[in-house]
Amino acid sequence: MKELLQKIIDENKKYTKKGNVATYIPELKKANRDDLGICIIDMDNNIYQVGSYEKKFTIQSVSKPITLALALMDNGKEKVFSKVGMEPSGDPFNSIMKLETTKPSIPYNPMINAGAIMITSMIKGKNNDEKLERMLKFFRKLSGNENLDINYDVYMCEKQTGDRNRAMAYLLKSEGILEENVEEVLDLYFKQCSIEVTVKDLARIGLNLASHGVDIRNGERLIESDISRIVKTFMVTCGMYDASGQFAINVGIPSKSGVGGGIMATVPNEMGIGVFGPSLDKKGNSIAGVKVLENLSEKLNLSIF
Ligand code: DON
């Protein structure tokens, strides 16, 4: 397996030159465009890591399926889906357009920014500190990494530059969809996106979804099976934004990308995969990371379809 992964990383490294690191969050400009790494953890807990696997990066939108699971555990399906839809938007991840043209103006799904902000607003806790603590605890449990924490430089940078997210959140508040204090919700959302991870952390989270919410190492149930199913379904239909259809055909693995360059992928009953390549395509997905998953899926016959 390791040889195969090395070959796939080597062969796809050239694609990093065809994209660019995210610049709309200035801190993310510091990433090295050439980095490309992967980690796979299988159901027997074998761990394979190749390339830039030691690099830390911020989780960004890969956090969205995880907070979705927590919000569903906190509130139940009925409440959550009264405030966020279940349909792909077909628009870029930071689009505001449909919030104005759809009535009631609930975000299309929890994977676009507007939907993810709504999801973050539904995390339970008596104040923001407690909400953050609960969120971090859940991310640490799912990643199996007790040391997971926030990159405060990225967080501060997002807070200073996140006016588009601010606009969406205030629009949602004005429509009565978002009930909490906007600045507090955004503060938590920016912290959530700034959690620092490695590909191994993403692979472990992917594996916990692949095993329907049970930690294969000790049998502990971390997520209800039904919630794990919902999360994976969103990853298929909306996880790669407005490239989700193409990705489903070319790769066929439930996956979620982030502008930090991470992709978390989950092959039910088989493995969790973490990929890192901060050079992004025009839609905000890791350009070489998508190619790596394409090759891997083809070689190991991983498409779920
Ligand atoms: O809110 C934002 O724009 C970022 N914190 C996260 C966006 C993101 O990762 C979209 N991914 N492709």
Q: Which atom of ligand 1 is nearest to the CA of 260?
A: 9
**In the chain, which residues fall in CATH 3.40.710.10?**
2-60+196-300, 62-193
CB within 8 Å of 282: residues ≥ 6 apart: none
48 labeled binding residue? no
Active-site residue list: 61, 64, 189, 241, 259
pLDDT of 95: 81
Q: Which pLDDT belongs to residue 261?
A: 98
> 207-232, pLDDT tens digit by residue?
999 999 999 999 999 999 999 999 99
Give, using CA atoms, the residue closest to atom 11 of ligand 1.
258
**Domain 2-60+196-300 maps to which CATH number in 3.10.450.630, 3.30.930.10, 3.40.710.10, 3.40.190.10?**
3.40.710.10
Amino acid letter, residue 239: G
* For ligand 1, mutation pick of 113, 157, 242 (most atoms within 8 Å of CB): 113
Residues 157/260, Cβ–Cβ less than 8 Å: no
Q: State the pLDDT at residue 101.
A: 83
Consult the annotation and say whether 61 binds a ligand.
yes
Query: What would the CATH number be for the domain defined by 62-193?
Result: 3.40.710.10
What is the per-residue pLDDT across 18-44, written as a single tens digit (0 to 9) for each? 999 999 899 999 999 999 999 999 999
Tell me what ipTM this predicted complex has: 0.95
What separation in Å is there between the alpha carbon of 259 and the centre of ligand 1?
5
In the chain, which residues have pLDDT < 70?
A: none
pLDDT (0 to 100) of residue 161: 95
CA of residue 251 to ligand 1 center, whole Å: 22
With CA atoms as reference, report the closest residue to 289 among 41, 2, 15: 15
Going from the Cα of 42 to the center of ligand 1, the distance in angstroms, rounded, reads 28
